[in-house]
Amino acid sequence: MNKVTLHTLSTFKQAGEKFTVLTAYDACFAHVVSEAGVEVILVGDSLGMVLQGQDSTLPVTMDDMIYHTASVAKGNQGAMIMADMPFMSYATPEQTMKNAALLMQAGAHIIKIEGDAWLSESVSLLSERGIPTCVHMGLTPQAVNKLGGYKVQGRDRGSAKQMIEDAVRLEEAGASILLLECVPSLLAEEVTQAVDIPVIGIGAGVSTDAQVLVLHDMLGITPGRSPKFVKNFMEDAADIPSAIQNYVAAVKQGSFPGPEHSFE
């Protein structure tokens, strides 16, 4: 695959062509995922659950994220590498600069932080210094204790309107990508239309510019009950590379996610 850049992704958005994001945490899977045509590899702090067996993402450290980002960078074949900044590693703008730099030096091409308009200052400082940002909005798992559980966000008109305003504000501050988790499909569509930067969705319906899933979820090996937005792509595939290729094809065609994976 040719090297994927922010320019590639905005060309997709302008052309109305969907792109695909998938998590990976090690060199071997980074190789398989990028070879299957996934444009963006997310080194997610979901590794707290998936690799470490924690019950939330809160225990994940900067050292964990640096280690896994460096591993992914070794195996990657041209995808864009997005690295999550872990819980409380971006509480102040100064801390954000320092920790974002460490992830970029480990091999990330863009960093992701969770929140809304309060991140504007950090987003603009990072952007001025040459570090692109993805802002993760809606259900932000690092705030699970404040949110009172893993619940759909933006269900009432007030919070929906606020989310659209915040998205526009973050774009103005210099955010390069937005990610919406667990928001009603219609709201995700409105946010996607309100900004020129690409919007990635998970549990956000089919209208966003891209989709993301946790690798182990879509391979059907995460223990316990899966969230509604997950589809097991191993059910119709002979091997892991084919399952990932089928995911890429389904996203490009708009056949995933279906209404059964979305919130109305």
Smallest distance from Na ion to CB 243, Å = 22
Contacting range for ligand KIV; rule: CB under 6 A; set: 43-51, 143-151, 166-174, 223-231: 43-51
According to CB under 6 A, which residues from 158 to 197 bind ligand KIV? 179, 181
User: Cβ contacts of residue 221 below 8 Å, gap of 6+?
Assistant: none
Instruction: Kindly tell me which of 93 and 227 has the beta carbon lying closer to ligand KIV.
Output: 227
Q: For Na ion, what does the binding mask look like between residues 34 and 73, x meaning CB under 5 A? A: ----------xx----------------------------
**Using CB under 6 A as the criterion, what x/- string covers residues 134-153 for binding ligand KIV?**
--x-----------------
Non-local (6+) Cβ contacts of 97 within 8 A are 122, 125, 126, 129
Stated as kind and residue range, the H or E segment containing 251 is helix 240-253
- 9 with 198: CB under 8 angstroms? yes
The binder of ligand KIV chosen from 39, 64, 84, 189 (CB under 6 A) = 84
Cβ atoms of residues 183 and 142 within 8 Å = no
- For residue 215, the one-letter residue type is L
Residue 84 assigned ligand-binding role: yes
Q: Is 254 left (phi over 0), alpha (psi -120 to 50) or beta?
A: left
Can 39 be counted among the known catalytic residues? no
Stretch that binds ligand KIV, among 44-52, 101-109, 242-250, 254-262 (CB under 6 A): 44-52
Distance (Å, whole) CA 212 – CA 10: 17
Catalytic residues: 181
Query: Which residue positions form the known binding site for Mg(2+)?
Result: 45, 84, 114
Residues lying near Na ion in the complex (CB under 5 A) are found at 44-45, 84
